[in-house]
C-alpha cells in the first residue's frame, strides 16, 4: 500500500487556488491488453504536470480504479506527491463502475467542503472517466449525483471509451453535455495525457473568474471523433 493511501494531503500554506482532478480508470480484466499503455500515459502525466511550476502548485489529484471493486488507488494529494509514489495500475476482475461513481461523488464533495473550511479557493473539478466496456453493477443511481454536478456546471467531465466494446450509452448517461464522450484513437493514452497536462497548465495559469473562457487545445491527436458512436435513439 502506498504511504499516502490512508490519508489526504492538503497544504494550507500553499497560496495557489487548487484544481482538483479525479481520474476514474477502468482496470478490469478486459483492460489487460492496454493496461501497460494506460500506466505509461498516466505516469507521463504525473511527471509532466509536476514539472510545471504553476500546475504543480494547483493540481490536486485523486485516482479511483474499478477492476474487481471500486477503490481509491490514490486519495487527493498534490500531483507531485503522487508522482513520487504512483499507485500501481493492474487489470483484474469485473467493471464495478457504480462503486467508482459513488466514491468519486463522495470524495469530490468532501474535498470541496475541505477547501471551503480551510479558506482555499479552487477551480471547478475535472473528472476523467476511461473505460473499455459496460459496467456490471448498478451505475444509474450513482450516475445521477455526478450528472447533477455536471448540469450545475460544477465540474468538467470527460468520458473516454476505449476500443470497440466501450459502452457510450453509459458514458452519456453519466453526463451528456457538450462535448460528450469520445472514443480514444487506438492506444493513444500518452497523447491524451499530454493534452490533459496542457489543459491543466492553462487552467492553473488563469484567473478563477476566467476558467470557463479558456480555449483548450485540439483533441485530434488522441480522439477518434469519426469513430465515436452517435447517441442511441430513444
Q: Is 151 or 137 the better-scoring residue by pLDDT? A: 137
User: Would you say residue 214 has pLDDT above 80?
Assistant: yes
**Each residue of 3-14: b (16+ CB within 10 Å) or e?**
ebeeeeebeeee
0.75 cut: is pTM over it? yes
Q: What band does 149 get if pLDDT is binned at 50, 70 and 90?
A: confident
C-beta of residue 58 within 8 angstroms of C-beta of residue 204: yes
- Residue 234 is predicted with a pLDDT of 52
User: Would you say residue 5 has pLDDT above 60?
Assistant: no
Distances (CA, A) of 123 to 33, 51, 206: 35, 20, 10
Q: Are strands 223-224 and 156-161 parallel, antiparallel or unpaired?
A: unpaired
Which among 189, 170, 192 is positioned nearest to 181, based on CA atoms? 170
Quick: pLDDT tens for 71-91.
Answer: 999 999 999 999 999 999 999
- Residue 2 is predicted with a pLDDT of 42
C-beta of residue 130 within 8 angstroms of C-beta of residue 91: no
Q: What percent of the chain has pLDDT over 70?
A: 94
Distances (CA, A) of 111 to 19, 107, 137, 175: 11, 6, 26, 21
Whole-angstrom distance, CA of residue 24 vs CA of residue 128: 6
Q: Which CATH number fits the domain that encloses residue 85?
A: 3.40.50.410
| C-alpha neighbours within 13 Å on the C-beta side of residue 102 | 13
Which among 85, 79, 87 is positioned nearest to 61, based on CA atoms? 79
Q: Is residue 232 part of a domain?
A: no
Distances (CA, A) of 200 to 39, 48, 165, 210: 19, 11, 29, 14
- Residue 150 is predicted with a pLDDT of 81
User: Would you say residue 4 has pLDDT above 70?
Assistant: no
Whole-angstrom distance, CA of residue 228 vs CA of residue 168: 8
Q: Is residue 10 part of a domain?
A: no
Q: Is residue 7 part of a domain?
A: no
Whole-angstrom distance, CA of residue 160 vs CA of residue 183: 6
Q: Provide the number of structural domains found in the chain.
A: 1
Range of the domain at 155: 19-208+218-224
Quick: pLDDT tens for 32-52.
Answer: 999 999 999 999 999 999 999
The label of the residue with cell 484567473 reads: 207
Give one DSSP letter per residue of 116-128, joined into a string: HHHT--BPPPEEE
Whole-angstrom distance, CA of residue 96 vs CA of residue 127: 17
Amino acid at each position: 500500500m502506498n504511504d499516502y493511501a490512508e490519508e489526504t494531503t492538503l497544504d494550507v500554506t500553499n497560496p495557489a487556488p487548487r484544481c482538483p482532478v479525479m481520474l476514474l480508470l477502468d482496470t478490469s480484466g478486459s483492460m489487460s491488453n492496454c493496461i501497460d499503455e494506460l500506466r505509461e500515459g498516466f505516469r507521463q502525466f504525473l511527471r509532466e504536470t509536476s514539472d510545471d511550476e504553476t500546475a504543480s502548485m494547483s493540481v490536486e489529484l485523486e485516482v479511483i480504479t474499478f477492476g474487481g471493486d471500486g477503490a481509491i488507488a490514490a486519495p487527493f494529494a498534490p500531483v507531485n506527491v503522487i508522482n513520487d509514489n504512483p499507485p500501481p495500475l493492474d487489470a483484474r476482475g469485473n467493471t464495478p463502475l457504480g462503486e467508482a461513481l459513488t466514491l468519486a461523488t463522495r470524495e469530490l464533495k468532501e474535498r470541496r467542503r475541505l477547501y471551503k473550511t480551510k479558506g482555499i479557493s479552487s477551480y471547478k473539478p475535472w473528472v476523467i472517466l476511461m473505460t473499455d466496456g459496460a459496467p456490471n453493477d448498478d451505475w444509474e443511481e450513482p450516475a445521477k449525483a455526478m450528472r447533477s454536478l455536471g448540469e450545475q456546471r460544477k465540474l468538467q467531465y470527460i468520458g473516454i471509451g476505449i476500443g470497440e466494446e466501450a459502452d457510450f450509452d453509459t458514458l452519456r448517461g453519466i453526463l451528456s453535455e457538450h462535448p460528450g464522450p469520445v472514443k480514444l484513437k487506438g492506444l493513444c493514452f500518452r497523447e491524451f495525457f499530454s493534452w490533459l497536462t496542457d489543459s491543466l497548465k492553462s487552467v492553473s495559469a488563469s484567473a478563477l473568474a476566467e476558467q470557463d473562457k479558456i480555449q483548450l487545445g485540439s483533441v485530434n491527436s488522441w480522439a477518434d471523433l469519426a469513430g465515436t458512436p452517435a447517441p442511441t435513439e430513444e
